[in-house]
Amino acid sequence: MIKVGIVEDNNTLRHSLTNLISHSGDMTCVLSLSNLLNVVSELKKNPADILLMDIGLPNITGIEGVMIVKENFENIELLMFTVFDDDVKIFEAIKAGASGYILKKTPPSEILEAIRILHQGGAPMSPGIARKVIKSFHDSRPGVKDSFNLTTREHEILSSLVDGLSYKKIMEKYFISISTVRTHIRHIYEKLHVNTKAQAVAKMLKR
């Protein structure tokens, strides 16, 4: 049985979630809280595999709660369950340690499936949330190219320099000649307006 804890300040919704989980057949609700004030002591008494948690909680926010839970219980997986679908809340929750993010409008059967996916090692997200996460990676890839007009290969080689690879290792990694490596690096220096590898790496790291 998957042991699930719930932290939700809406009493009606919390009771509905408790009933949903209790009647799932493969899950049991071990904890039902309206806030995070005593979450550590409660989890010590009632260990959970997964904590289904709102973000907009009173006193201690769900994002703060993720950090508190993760600091005390490394193995508990956090599934955010919220009305918030803005980018800031999503990434704050993920950075804090949440492994899944679903919206409150998610159908009951999909809520249960998200819990199962998380328990199996996945990272469930509502479709709209997943799209925002993917879009953020597309928008930021690669940041240096946007600013300095580096080609994809130049960006790869610059990243390799940051990682500490020698010219010879770069040549072997990308199956190109040493003269081609030098040509790419010369172009990188020109575009970044630097004269040395150290300056190029420093400029990359500042970004």
Q: Where a domain ends, among 115, 138, 161?
A: 138
Per-residue pLDDT at 36: 95
Per-residue pLDDT at 145: 43
At 34-71, the pLDDT tens digits run 999 999 999 999 999 999 999 989 889 998 999 999 99
Rounded distance between C-alpha atoms, residue 102 and residue 81, angstroms = 5
Same domain, 31 and 117: yes
Per-residue pLDDT at 167: 84
Long-range contacts of 103-112 (CB under 8 A, 24+ apart): 103/128, 103/129, 104/13, 106/81, 108/20, 111/17, 111/20, 111/52, 111/81, 112/20, 112/21, 112/24, 112/27
Per-residue pLDDT at 85: 72
Per-residue pLDDT at 193: 86
Rounded distance between C-alpha atoms, residue 154 and residue 160, angstroms = 10
Structural domains of the chain, count: 2
Rounded distance between C-alpha atoms, residue 42 and residue 72, angstroms = 12
Return the closest-CA partner of residue 79 out of 199, 65, 87.
65
Strands of 83-126 (E only): list them. 100-103
Residue owning tokens 């199962």:
116
Same domain, 119 and 164: no
CA angle 61, 129, 92 (to 5 degrees): 35
What's 168's domain CATH number?
Answer: 1.10.10.10
**Count of alpha carbons within 13 Å of 5, Cβ hemisphere only?**
24
Per-residue pLDDT at 144: 43
Residuewise pLDDT in 10s, the chain (207 residues): 999 999 999 999 999 999 999 999 999 999 999 999 999 999 999 999 999 999 989 889 998 999 999 999 989 999 999 887 776 777 788 878 888 889 899 999 999 999 998 898 888 887 777 767 666 655 555 544 445 788 888 888 888 887 777 888 899 989 899 889 989 998 998 888 887 777 777 777 666
Q: Are 157 and 170 in contact (CB under 8 A)?
A: yes
Domain span at residue 180 reads 143-206
Same domain, 169 and 85: no
Same domain, 61 and 102: yes
Q: Where a domain ends, among 109, 138, 167?
A: 138
Same domain, 150 and 122: no
Its pTM surpasses 0.85: no
Same domain, 91 and 9: yes
